[in-house]
Amino acid sequence: MLNIRRVDHKASSTHCWRVRVQRRKQVFLRDFSDGPYGGREQALQAAQVYRNTLIQAHPPLSKPAYCAILKKTNRSGISGLTRVDRCEMSKGKRARRLYWEVQWPIENCKAKHRKFSIPKYGEEGAYQMALAARETALQALASQTFSPFESRVSRDDQAA
């Protein structure tokens, strides 16, 4: 179950359901022991009610909002947009590759990438094309929410 785990630790006589939900650097954690709730099933029901209340009060981020978070290593000032200047070997010769690369998430925790050549479109042209491609992609994701467990949940559903 998403955000609910069973804890059975005989040494400390701990038997409970643990609810753990994280939202924007804040962690909500609560245990539902079998004893006070009158058994394992009743404790599970209480844990599910608590989890559902937490999720309603603190909904997950939308994918565009998650994609807008700037990472510590970002140097372009726009999340998902990178200027690449790299030397590669191509047909036995060294070739310099200059381009703006843009990425955005797609299903199953994977990302889509597009590159825009600086020599072909110019610095500003490649940058503007990459920015436009990212905006278009994020608009298509507007109705989706971000879930770091997305691929795991779909695998669990297929196994059941």
Residues 26-70 pLDDT 10s: 999 999 999 999 999 999 999 999 999 999 998 887 777 777 777
Whether residue 136 sits in one domain with residue 68: yes
Residues 75-114 pLDDT 10s: 888 888 999 999 988 888 998 999 999 988 777 778 889 9
Whether residue 129 sits in one domain with residue 76: yes
Q: How far is CA 8 from the centre of its chain?
A: 30
Q: How far is CA 104 from the centre of its chain?
A: 11
80 is written with which tokens? 């998902």
Spatial separation of the C-alpha atoms in residues 130 and 134, rounded to whole Å: 6
User: Going by DSSP bridges, is the β-strand pair 93-106/14-23 parallel, antiparallel, or unpaired?
Assistant: unpaired
Domain residue limits at 21:
4-59
Spatial separation of the C-alpha atoms in residues 9 and 104, rounded to whole Å: 42
Whether residue 75 sits in one domain with residue 47: no
Full-model pTM: 0.57
